[in-house]
Amino acid sequence: MLILSRNKGQKIMINDNIVLSVIEVNGDQVRIGIEAPANVTIYRDEIYEAIKQQNQNAVDFNEDIQNILQTVIPRKKK
């Protein structure tokens, strides 16, 4: 992990197309502005983790449904 110190108004460049700007520092809270191409998805960590959990729940649900359907609907013989 790279750790950098920045002051209000300073920026961090990521590649040639992503800019992180320190907008405001207020006690323990820092406001950050992010400039990135439209195709770059940006999430807060807690939202990203919730999305991953929902996706995993959907996969688990699909596997459960497939298992139930396989026991209820007999496979066709060739």
Tens digit of pLDDT at every position of the chain (78 positions): 999 999 999 999 999 999 999 999 999 999 999 999 999 999 999 999 999 999 888 877 777 777 777 777 766 666
Write down the pTM of the prediction. Answer: 0.66
> Three-state SS string across 56-67, please?
HHHHHHHHHHHH
pLDDT of residue 76: 65
pLDDT of residue 75: 66
Residues in the chain: 78
Q: Measured in Å, how far apart are the chain's first and last C-alpha atoms?
A: 56
CA 17 to chain centre: 19
Which residues fall within 8 angstroms of residue 77, CB to CB, at 6 or more apart? none
